[in-house]
Amino acid sequence: MYERDVLAENWRRPLKGKIPQVPAELDLVVEDVDGGFCGAVVACDKEAVTLEDRFGRRRLFPLEPAAFLLEGKVVTLVRPATAPQAPRRSASGSIAVEGLRARVAKESRIYVEGVHDAALVEKVWGHDLRVEGVVVEYLEGIDHLPSIVAEFGPGPDRRLGVLVDHLIPGSKESRIASQVSSPHVLIVGHPFVDVWQAVRPSVLKIASWPAVPRGLPWKEGVIAALGWDLEPRDAWRRILGSVTTYADLEPELLGPVEELIDFVTAPSEDD
């Protein structure tokens, strides 16, 4: 007979003194015992550790005994003797290049539909684009995209990336995009009617972006539904001002923009 019920205690948390203590060093990958969140250490103080998973999501966890799994074994994370100092990150999440100097712009370009798209891309990816020497230009719509592409004259060392709003099957935008065919042009897009919707509603402290009936101007309809006493340009200032990093944007925009940057900065076959 056992003197006690061996299953009565939390099996994941062995008796005190038998749990190894592990410094929460930068980039150490651990898993939260209770919730299963797995990520790398990006910050740690005397009371809590911040983990970032492979999707860029971050969560804060208290430094409690036996609260994490390291390579499948229960451990207690403790603050390192020297707190981890993560490299400074740009708004896009990339490692910031210190002492960056302007460089000659590449011939390759990224085109976006409007000034709001350009402003949002600049705010989040501006540092990365300056590092790479890539210029973003706006088109004021894509109705004449095929002729615009022809005028640009894409080639192996002169690539063109285009970001399109509302690029979904059957849309006007998708029909126009299908008219462009070149190995030196990449057209990607997001499903939103307007790039405003690419900003997460929670960032603006709203439950969701309002649905605007067909036939009504979308921006004005959104402003009215939200009860904002603002002109569209002032509403956009409020929206853009709420964005600080890539985490404030929806994945449906993040992926396409990253894809465009990779495309226009990839070395040519002759390099």
pLDDT digits (tens, 9 = 90+) for 140-160: 888 999 999 999 999 998 999
For domain 21-78, give the fold.
Answer: SH3 type barrels. (2.30.30)
CA 201 and chain centroid, separation: 15
Q: Specify the DSSP class assigned to residue 199.
A: B
What per-residue confidence (pLDDT) applies to 8?
A: 46
What per-residue confidence (pLDDT) applies to 43?
A: 84
Asked if residue 103 has pLDDT above 80, the reply is no
Q: Which among 190, 200, 198, 126 is positioned nearest to 163, based on CA atoms? A: 190
**Average pLDDT estimate for 41-59:** 83
Given pLDDT bands bounded at 50, 70 and 90, which one contains residue 58? confident
Task: Give the integer Cα–Cα distance in Å for 220 and 12.
Answer: 55
What count of residues does the chain have?
271
264 close to 110: Cβ distance less than 8 angstroms: yes
Taking only the tens place, the pLDDT of each residue in 72-94 is 889 999 988 765 555 566 665 65
Q: Which residue has the tokens 């592409």?
A: 149
Given pLDDT bands bounded at 50, 70 and 90, which one contains residue 101? low
The model's pTM: 0.64
Asked if residue 4 has pLDDT above 80, the reply is no
Q: Which residue has the tokens 């070395």?
A: 267
Phi then psi dihedrals of residue 58, to 5 deg: -120, 145
The boundaries of every CATH 2.30.30 domain in the chain are 21-78
> What is the average pLDDT value for the chain, to the nearest integer?
85
What per-residue confidence (pLDDT) applies to 47?
A: 83
Contacts of 196 (CB under 8 A, 6+ apart): 116, 209, 219, 222, 236, 239
194 close to 143: Cβ distance less than 8 angstroms: no
What per-residue confidence (pLDDT) applies to 89?
A: 66
Asked if residue 120 has pLDDT above 80, the reply is yes
58 vs 61: which has the higher pLDDT: 61
150 close to 201: Cβ distance less than 8 angstroms: no
Q: Which residue type does 188 have?
A: V
* Alpha-helical segments (H) within 75-182: 115-132, 145-152, 172-177
CA 152 and chain centroid, separation: 29
Asked if residue 9 has pLDDT above 50, the reply is no
**Average pLDDT estimate for 107-129:** 91
The SS3 call for residue 6 is coil
Among the residue ranges 44-53, 87-96, 110-119, the one predicted with the least confidence is 87-96
What per-residue confidence (pLDDT) applies to 240?
A: 94
